[in-house]
Structure 1
C-alpha cells in the first residue's frame, strides 16, 4: 500500500530521492562506519514529515510504544535486529526484565507490550514483565481481546539487582519514558539498563537531540553534496517560559518564533515555495503529543487564551512546562484514505524493522497528528525499506520512497546515539563525539 500524494512542487524531493539512489553504496558504507563509532539506541521510532520540497524528522522517541501497529511481515526482521543488538550489548544474556508504562488499562499500548515481548522471546530470552507502580504489590494478569494474557509483577530490589519474585534478569529494558522522574529502584544497579537512565525525559531534551542531528546532517550532506535544510528542520529553544502567567511576556519565545520564521521564509524564497511557513512550539521534554501548538505569526504567542495556556503548561504525569523547543514546521503532502498522514519509522539497533502511517482525518497538513482521533496504517518497510530499485526513476517506485524514509530515520537514530554520548553522566569533560568522515 502506497499513500496518495498531492504535491504542487515535487522537484526538490525527487532530486533528493535521486541523489540517495545514486549514492546508495556510499550511504550504506557511511552508516556502517558511524555505527562502529557510535552505539545505536536499543530501539527508537522517528516521526517524519514529507512536504514535497523537504523530508525531515520532527520527533525521535527512544521508548517506542507502537510495535503493535507494524505489519506482521516485519516480525522476522525485528527478531534478527533484536538478536543483533543483544549479541553486541549483552552477549551472555539469558533473561530480560521488560518494564512498561504504568498505565495498564490502555489496550492499544498493552498490545505493543505483548508484541515487543514476543519479539524478544524469539531471540532466546526469557522475558518477564515488571511494574514500578507504587500501588501494585501483587502479580496480576491482563487479558487482551486477541486471547493474549500479560503477566505483570511488581519490581523488587535486592542489593544492587532488580527483578521479580524468583526472577533475576541479566538486563532491564525500559518501555517507560521516565517522565515522572528517574526511579530510585533502578539507581546504581549492577544490571544493564536499556535505554540508559539519562535517556528518560527527566534529563533528555529535544533541543539537545536536534543539536546532535545538526552535526549528523552536516556530515551526511557533505558526503552527498546536498543542502542540509532539505532533511533538517531549523529550531530554537527557550529555557524560561511560563504559560500559566498571562502577564508574562515570554519575550524569549516570541523573539525565537520571529527569528525562526525569518529563516524559513528565506529558504522558501530560495526554492520558490509558496506555502505559508509556520513553527511548532512544544515542550522540550515529553511525549504523547502533549504541550504542542502551531504558530504562524509571533503575535499568536502574545495572544494565547486561557485554554491554550493550560494546554501548553502541563504535559504527561502533570509536569509543568518551563522549557520549549521552537521547531520549523514541516507540511505533509501525504494522505491515506483522505486523511492527512505522516510516516513513522521503527528501528531496533541500527536496523529499520517496520513503519506505519499516522493518519488523522480532522487535522490539517500543518498540524500535529499525534492527537486523539488518529489511526495507524502499517507499511511494508520490512521487505522494501532496505532494497531500493536504483534503476527506477525517482517517484516511480514505492520502495524508493521507503528507502528515503529509512535513510532519514537512521540519521535521527544516529543523532540519538551521539546525543546520549554527549549527555552521559560519565562524560564529565563534556567531550563532543565526532563522526567518521570519508569522501564519497
Structure 2
C-alpha cells in the first residue's frame, strides 16, 4: 500500500526529487567517499516528515525496535547488510549475543527481538538472547503477540566478558554461550549498567550511543554540517532537508524554572521559520516541537505554536514533559522546527520510518495515527504501522519514471535517511571517549 500524498504543496519536493534523480551517480559517489571516512553505525532507523515543501528527519534511533514492521519481502536486504556489518566489526564472528530492552511485557517489542534474531541467524551467526533485567533470573520463554516465542537467558559476567551459562528449559539443554560480539537493542536510557562496562568483547553499538550520554542536539549539529555539504552538491537550499533547532539546558518543568529561557528560544525559532515560510510562499502556521534532548519512545514531547504555549504550563503537561523512559528526569530540551506531514493512509496521518543496517537501506514502514494531526508527534499510544508501504527497495529509483513515482519518492527518503545516518556516524566519532 503506497500512501496518498496531498499534492497541493509538493512543488518544492518534486523539484528536490528531480534533482536527486538527475544527480544520482554524484550522490552515490559522495556517499561512498563519506563511508570511507566515517564508520557507519551498525543499524539505525530515521523518522522522516514530508511536508511537500520540505523533507526532513526529525529523529534518529541507534537502537531500532521495529524490525517486525518491515516488509518481509525485503528480508534478503537485511541479511546481506547484516553480513557486511558483522564482517566489519568482528570478521571471525560465529556467535552473537543480543541484549534487548528490559520491558519484557511489551509483546510487540518482543516480536522485534524475534525478527532481529532471525535476521542475524540468517546472516550466518549462532544467535542467543541474553537479558540484563533483574526480573530475568532463570532461562525464560516469552510469547509475542502473534504466537511466536523467544528464549531469554540471564547474562552473567566473568572478568571482562559477558556470557550465558548452561541451562535447561522444557527438557532442552542450552549450552554455555560465549560470543565474539554483543548486539545491544537496549538504548540505555536508564544509564550504563556496570555489567556492560569495560568489556573485551565487541559491543555494538558502543555504550556512548545510548541515551545516558547521547544528545539529539549533538546529532542535529552534525546533521547541519552534512546537509550543508550535500546541498552544495545538489545546489539546493539546505533548509528543504533540515529542521532548524535550538536547545535550552536548564529546564525544570516541576519547579517551573527555565520557562522564560524556553519561551525566548521558541519565539526566536518561530520567527526564523516564518522568514523561510514567507520566502517560499508557505501559508501554514509555523510550529516547533519541544522534546527531551535525550530519550525515545515519543515521551516528553509537545507541539508549540507560540512562546505563550510554554509559559504557565498546566500540571498535566508539566508532568508529561518532566520525565521520559526509565524515569529519566528532563532538564535539557531541544526546540526543533516542526515539519508538517501531508501523507496519509485511509485518511489517517502517516510518516515514513526508514531502516538501515551498516550504510544500506533495508526497508521501512509508515507510522500511522488516527488520533493525531499533521503537526503532532505520531510516536504515541494508538499508533499503528503499515509494513507494506515500501513496495520496492528505496535504493532502486526509476530514472525514466516521474519524480513522484513511488520508487523515486522512496529513493529520496533513503537519501535523506542516509544523510541522518552519516550525521550519526560523525556524532559517534566525535563523542567517542577515546577521541576526547
Same fold (TM over 0.5): yes
2:240 is equivalent to residue 230 of structure 1: yes
In structure 1, the residue matched to 2:384 is: 375
Structure 1 outlier segments of 4+, above 4 Å? none
2:365 is equivalent to residue 365 of structure 1: no
Contact 1:77 1:382 (C-alpha < 8 Å) held by counterparts? no
Q: Give the superposition deviation at 1:143.
A: 2.6
Q: Give the superposition deviation at 1:303.
A: 2.5
Q: Give the superposition deviation at 1:88.
A: 1.2
Write the distance in 2 (CA, Å) between the matches of 1:208 and 1:136.
Answer: 34
Write the distance in 2 (CA, Å) between the matches of 1:79 and 1:334.
Answer: 30
In structure 2, the residue matched to 1:398 is: 406
Q: Give the superposition deviation at 1:380.
A: 5.3
Write the distance in 2 (CA, Å) between the matches of 1:398 and 1:48.
Answer: 16
The correspondence for 1:195, drawn from 205, 221, 237, is: 205
The correspondence for 1:296, drawn from 292, 305, 310, is: 305
In structure 2, the CA distance between the partners of 1:325 and 1:145, relative to structure 1 (3 Å rule), is closer
In structure 1, the residue matched to 2:171 is: none
Write the distance in 1 (CA, Å) between the matches of 2:388 and 2:135.
Answer: 39
Counterpart secondary structure, 1:426: helix
In structure 2, the residue matched to 1:283 is: 292
Matches within 5 A, 1:18-417: 18-144=18-144, 146-165=146-165, 166-246=176-256, 248=257, 250-379=259-388, 381=390, 383-395=392-404, 397-417=405-425
Deviation track 1:129-150 (CA, whole Å, cap 9, x = no partner) reads: 0111123221111133544321
Deviation track 1:368-426 (CA, whole Å, cap 9, x = no partner) reads: 0001110100145473311111122322x110000000000000000000000010001
Write the distance in 1 (CA, Å) between the matches of 2:4 and 2:92.
Answer: 47
Counterpart secondary structure, 1:383: coil
Counterpart secondary structure, 1:260: helix
Contact 1:70 1:378 (C-alpha < 8 Å) held by counterparts? yes
Write the distance in 2 (CA, Å) between the matches of 1:132 and 1:404.
Answer: 39
Q: Give the superposition deviation at 1:347.
A: 0.4
Q: Give the superposition deviation at 1:4.
A: 1.0
Contact 1:353 1:381 (C-alpha < 8 Å) held by counterparts? no
Contact 1:340 1:364 (C-alpha < 8 Å) held by counterparts? yes
Contact 1:179 1:316 (C-alpha < 8 Å) held by counterparts? yes
In structure 1, the residue matched to 2:173 is: none
Write the distance in 2 (CA, Å) between the matches of 1:238 and 1:144.
Answer: 40
In structure 2, the residue matched to 1:11 is: 11
Counterpart secondary structure, 1:384: coil
Write the distance in 2 (CA, Å) between the matches of 1:234 and 1:145.
Answer: 39
Cα-Cα RMSD: 1.1
TM-score normalised to structure 2 length: 0.96
Contact 1:345 1:409 (C-alpha < 8 Å) held by counterparts? yes
Q: Give the superposition deviation at 1:92.
A: 0.5
Contact 1:354 1:380 (C-alpha < 8 Å) held by counterparts? no
Contact 2:251 2:258 (C-alpha < 8 Å) held by counterparts? no
Aligned length: 426
In structure 1, the residue matched to 2:172 is: none
Counterpart secondary structure, 1:327: strand
Deviation track 1:97-122 (CA, whole Å, cap 9, x = no partner) reads: 10000111111000000000000001
Q: Which runs of 5+ in 1 are unaligned?
A: 429-440
Contact 1:354 1:382 (C-alpha < 8 Å) held by counterparts? no
TM-score normalised to structure 1 length: 0.95
Contact 1:353 1:382 (C-alpha < 8 Å) held by counterparts? no
User: In terms of mean alpha carbon deviation, does 329-338 or 373-382 score higher?
Assistant: 373-382
In structure 2, the CA distance between the partners of 1:228 and 1:379, relative to structure 1 (3 Å rule), is farther
Contact 1:257 1:326 (C-alpha < 8 Å) held by counterparts? yes
